[in-house]
Amino acid sequence: MAWDFLYLCRISTTTHWGGLYLLNDKQTWEFFCYTYELLWRADSKGRSKSSKSRIQNGKYEIKVRSDGSKGWRLQLSGTGHRTYIQIHRAHKTMFIEGCILPIHSTDLREIQNKILSLGKNKVYKKSRYGTDKLRTADRGLQTRSIQLMEKMKKRYDKLSQGKTGKATILITTLLPSVTPK
């Protein structure tokens, strides 16, 4: 039977940021970190654009992966036409193709302060997919994101003991709570 593990609450449909919560030993949600995702972009059928958009709100089963250069991470199942949607460590430029990146509060504040003082166009640039990524790479951001994933793994390992079925993530949005067309 599936079991609750993560809860992602997106701040709004018009921002990249959200809050990620982990279930604790007492079966209550505790704030874990911020997240960074692409904004919603629809294809001609109204679905999320592959490699250019976040996935829809919903509850998804997750499975552990540890192959490749991204290390330990979680892959969402049941994402429809979208495949390989993962929660994984951030790259130093925060470049993504539809996945969910755990971001430390220090990095969120730094990015927001840079946007306020320099403007968004001086902080972000467009990737080859037309999505935003940081103009200046930040190794510290990547290191802190890796540390967050290590903490998430410890919690996952602890909570998964004795459980059958897959862990789940619930993804919601505060306001507006409708997916823009």
Sign of CA dihedral 31, 112, 147, 59: positive
pLDDT of 109-127, one tens digit each?
A: 888 888 777 777 777 777 6
Assess if residue 181 is contained within a domain: no
Assess if residue 51 is contained within a domain: yes
Selected residue with higher pLDDT from 178 and 15 = 15
Assess if residue 179 is contained within a domain: no
Assess if residue 140 is contained within a domain: yes
In sequence order, what DSSP letters do the residues of 150-172 get, joined into one string?
HHHHHHHHHHHTT--S-EEEEEE
Q: Residues 82, 168, 17, CA angle at the centre, nearest 5°? A: 65
User: For helices 105-118 and 139-160, what crossing angle results, to 10°?
Assistant: 150
pLDDT band at 146 (very low <50, low <70, confident <90, very high): very high
Q: Please, which residues bridge with residue 48 across strands?
A: 42
Assess if residue 142 is contained within a domain: yes
Assess if residue 178 is contained within a domain: no
Q: Residues 6, 1, 62, CA angle at the centre, nearest 5°? A: 35
Domain assignment of residue 73, given as a range: 3-173
Assess if residue 26 is contained within a domain: yes
Assess if residue 62 is contained within a domain: yes
Count of structural domains, the chain: 1
Q: Report the predicted TM-score, pTM, of the whole model to 2 decimal places.
A: 0.86
pLDDT band at 145 (very low <50, low <70, confident <90, very high): very high
Share of the chain above pLDDT 90, in %: 50
- pLDDT at 14 (0 to 100): 82
pLDDT band at 181 (very low <50, low <70, confident <90, very high): low
